[in-house]
Amino acid sequence: MNGPRQRYSRGARLLHWTIALLIITNILLGIAHGVNKDWPVIPLHKSIGLTVLALTLLRIIWRLTHRPPPLPAQMPGWEKGAAHGLHAVFYVLMLALPLTGWVMSSAGQYPLRWFNLFAVPKFAVTKGSALLEFSHGAHGVMGLVFGALIVLHVGAALRHHFVLKDDVLGRMTGL
């Protein structure tokens, strides 16, 4: 450990775990939809995606105004760089996935509604547009890449906790 236990703030931890659970749920819903197009999960998938987008914007503001605890001093530089790089990729994906989904929904015939409570405005996107084609192709690929990176992230956190026995996991969990 780096002296006294240092933690992410309560707000950062709440945002982290809420967004993480929503993203994992949405990846599973997206896979389920790919396996069985008749299973009506897409309205929920869209609502969760929009929620992730809003919470990510809040998380970015939080992160800009609250310093994270430092990584352990004994952690090699390459590992610190990899951790920071992965977190940057996560932020890109937390923005890009919901936005590409929103673009795809905008070109569709159905209204875009957030948990069936209110309508969400659509982008001016039409079927056959280059933006729609890019979004459609990128959305599924990014979702699968995100899932793989989450597995890597969890594996690295567990390695730190059980093998290296440092406080990396504890910074976000309190363990």
Q: Which domains does the chain have, with CATH numbers?
A: 10-173 (1.20.950.20)
Is 159 in contact with 153 (CB distance < 8 Å)?
A: no
Digit-coded pLDDT (tens) for 106-133: 999 989 999 999 999 999 999 999 999 9
d(CA 65, CA 124): 34
Provide the pLDDT confidence category of residue 4 given band limits of 50, 70 and 90. low
Number of CB atoms found within 10 A of residue 94's CB: 21
Q: Is the pLDDT of residue 34 over 60?
A: yes
Beta bridge partners of 114: 118
Digit-coded pLDDT (tens) for 11-25: 999 999 999 999 999
Q: What is the mean pLDDT of the chain?
A: 94
Q: How far is CA 4 from the centre of its chain?
A: 30
Rounded to 10 degrees, the C-alpha dihedral 141/50/7/159 comes to -20
Contacts of 42 (CB under 8 A, 6+ apart): 33
Is 47 in contact with 102 (CB distance < 8 Å)?
A: no
Question: Which run of H or E residues covers position 92?
Answer: helix 77-107
Number of CB atoms found within 10 A of residue 38's CB: 5
15, 71, 75, 133, 157 from 103: Cα distances, Å: 25, 37, 41, 10, 34
Strands (E), 23-174: 113-114, 118-119
Predicted local distance difference test score (pLDDT) of residue 174: 74
Predicted local distance difference test score (pLDDT) of residue 2: 42
Structure-token match 């990729």, residue found: 89
Digit-coded pLDDT (tens) for 48-57: 999 999 999 9
